[in-house]
Amino acid sequence: MKENILEIKKLDERAIIPTYGTNDSAGADLYALLDDNLEIKPGETILIGTGLAMAIPKGYVGLIYARSSLGTKKGLAPANKVGVIDADYRGEIKIPLFNQSKETQTITPGERIAQIIFTPYLKVNFQEVDSLDETIRGQGGFGSTN
């Protein structure tokens, strides 16, 4: 990113530009753009808009993560666990919040609902081969290194 500046557009005047909680926060908080309080029933997923669009630079991706306080206090987290905002997407950033608790939860207008982290990524060309190089771990997975 050039000088760590990201172009962002408010699609609604009430939208809130993302903020960092502290100087060393990796994720910038995203805010709910709502007219009224919104209830999310247990087991329900609701798509919540932010009223924002972004021009993520080529070679970067915006990753949407849960806010730990929302997850631990209300049981709310993005339904897709980690959202991927590609560099060529220019539509509204929306968060599909899933209520994994046993109680109806309420989101208020302007509440912080997720966080976004920008990171470079590696685009690869896939090459099919007959075998892979050997490693000590080999095929061990799913807790094999415990």
Averaged pLDDT for residues 122-134: 94
pLDDT at 1 over 60: no
pTM of the model: 0.88
Residue 142, in any domain of the structure = no
Q: Is residue 13 part of a domain?
A: yes
The CATH number covering residue 114 comes to 2.70.40.10
pLDDT, position 146: 59
The arithmetic mean of pLDDT across residues 117-123, rounded, is: 95
Which tokens is 41 given?
């029933």
Q: 54 lies in a domain?
A: yes
Tell whether 140 is covered by a domain: no
Residues forming beta bridges with residue 29, ordered by sequence position? 19, 115
In a domain? residue 62: yes
- Cβ neighbors of 11 (< 8 A, separation 6 or more) are 51, 52, 53, 92
Total tally of structural domains belonging to the chain: 1
pLDDT band at 83 (very low <50, low <70, confident <90, very high): very high
The arithmetic mean of pLDDT across residues 72-90, rounded, is 94
Is 85 part of a structural domain of the chain? Answer: yes
Task: With respect to residue 139, please indicate whether it lies within any of the assigned structural domains.
Answer: no
- CB contact at 8 A, 33 and 15: yes
Q: Write out pLDDT tens, residues 8-17.
A: 999 999 999 9
- Would residue 107 count as lying in a domain? yes
Of 109, 82, 110, 108, nearest to 95 by C-alpha is 82
Task: Tell me the residue range of the domain where 34 lies.
Answer: 2-120
